[in-house]
Amino acid sequence: MRDFSVNVQIKNKSVNADTGIPTTIIGTYSGEVLDARITNNNGLDITDEVIHTVLESDDYKQGIENGWFIGFLGHPEDPNCMDFKNGCIVMTDMSIDDNGKVYGEFNLVGTPVGQIVKTFIDAGVKFGISIRGAGDIVDNSVDPETFVFRGYDLVSFPAYPESIPKFTAIAASTNTDDRKKYQSVCKVVRDNISAITSSTAIDVIQSQFAKQSDTYKMLQTQKDKLTASTETTSDIDPEFAKEKIQAMTDLCIRLMESTKTLSQEKDKMMHNHAKETISASRKIRTLKRITSSQMCDIMGQLKSEQSDYTALQKENKRIKTQLSDVKKKNLIYKQRVEASADELQEKQKIIASLKSQMRETVTASTDLETRTSNLDETNRKLRSELRTCKQTLQSFQAAYADIYASALGVNPGSLSITASTTVDDLQKMVNSATNTSNMATADMVEPLYIIDECDDTDDYETNDLVTM
């Protein structure tokens, strides 16, 4: 798991009987510890989902309640480190806001490392805070399903460059107060160095001092002691030493086997626990999503029903108003009907008289229709006779045209002759249809017949009948 650290503010508390704070707590940390919306300088994303998953887990709630999230000075090699004598802070709370800012609260405890940290803080050192845990990395993002949270550690070189402390500058300062602070830090380190068994903590403390300083060299000596063998063999009998070494070796082997078995069982239990935790978390999130969706649907339906109810109330009010108006109008109409009863009776008498007159009129109309029917029959006969006369007239006109053309010695061709065609029109049509090439002697031909117009005094629509 990579670091993601930010500076936090420290708030010191007086440690005495009047404050009610245990003497083992020498101060408190509080402030921003992580930003879930940005990528840290290590290129790692710890998203909102990761933090929310941690906060909603039973492990987190139980760890906060029992004070299990112990932080060290520097990250230990094992995220599950239990070397609590090198611890310095205990997390008491963690939260996240809507902008992805994560905040934490921590107690600074009075361990040797805690005393050193407290003195450094008094001297102006601003330690960073870095999350500790283990989990899978997917596309440079921590997998919320596999991440196991173990707390926060104090670091001198966190993921943010602006969080790097500048304590080494105090040593070279000419300011009297700064020099006093530096000397107090050196004294606390000397008093507590023998109790520090963590090389990581020593590395963090060393980073605050110049390499040529006595304090740095003293810390280096302690670190060398931790890495070197604590046993000497100068005054021990070789055979006894050999037996002792063999016995210790056998004991170590048995302990290693036992530790291996226990470690396997622990890993198995941790795996099963993580698996069950992930499964339960997924089920809880699924239930939350389903519940949220159902609540949204119910709220939508409720809103729709409320809207319909409001519309119905308005419609009911409108109908009541219309009903009231109709009742008023109905009363007025009823009064008018009652007032018009006499007038209606008088009009009924008038209607009876008009009906009598109408019957007389219908009788006269029937007689008229009978006479009209007889006239229609006469008219049909006359029209039939008229059509016959027109046909006869047309035949005579056609014959006249043929005779007139023969008299001229020409071929009239096809002429458009109707009953209304006059003698002059017939002559003009025959003359216009004459072929000049066949009329070389037409002017010398005398008519064979004398044709006179005849006045028609009959009751026909034309007087165009001719006689020869």
Residue 254 has pLDDT above 80, yes or no: no
Residue with the bigger pLDDT between 16 and 259: it is 259
For the chain, give every domain's residue range.
5-228, 386-467
Look at domain 5-228 and name its CATH class: alpha beta
Residue 319 has pLDDT above 90, yes or no: yes
Residue 96 has pLDDT above 80, yes or no: yes
Residue 81 has pLDDT above 80, yes or no: no
Q: Which amino acid, residue 325?
A: D
Average pLDDT for 147-172: 62
Alpha-carbon span 66 to 360, nearest angstrom: 120
Average pLDDT score, the chain: 76
Q: Name the pLDDT band for 5 (thresholds 50, 70, 90).
A: very low
Q: Spell out the SS3 assignment of the chain.
A: CCCCEEECEEECCCCCCCCCCCCCEEEEEEEEEEECCCCCCCCCECCHHHHHHHHHCHHHHHHHHHCCCEEEECCCCCCCCCCHHHEEEEEEEEEECCCCEEEEEEEEECCHHHHHHHHHHHCCCCCEEEEEEECCEECCEECCCCCEEEEEEEECCCCCHHHCCCCHHHHCCCCHHHHHHHHHHHHHHHHHHHHCCCHHHHHHHHCCCCCCCHHHHHHHHHHHHHHCCCCCCCCCCHHHHHHHHHHHHHHHHHHHHHHHHHHHHHHHHHHHHHHHHHHHHHHHHHHHHHHHHHHHHHHHHHHHHHHHHHHHHHHHHHHHHHHHHHHHHHHHHHHHHHHCHHHHHHHHHHHHHHHHHHHHHHHHHHHHHHHHHHHHHHHHHHHHHHHHHHHHHHHHHHHHHHHHHHHHCCCCCCCCCCCCCCHHHHHHHHHHCCCHHHCCCHHHCCCCCCCEECCCCCCCCCCCCEEC
pLDDT of residue 293: 85
Residue with the bigger pLDDT between 420 and 120: it is 120
Average pLDDT for 139-165: 72
Average pLDDT for 158-179: 52
Residue with the bigger pLDDT between 231 and 257: it is 257
- Dump pLDDT digits (tens) for 203-253: 888 777 777 788 888 888 888 888 774 444 445 566 666 666 777 677 767
Residue 176 has pLDDT above 80, yes or no: no
pLDDT of residue 448: 37
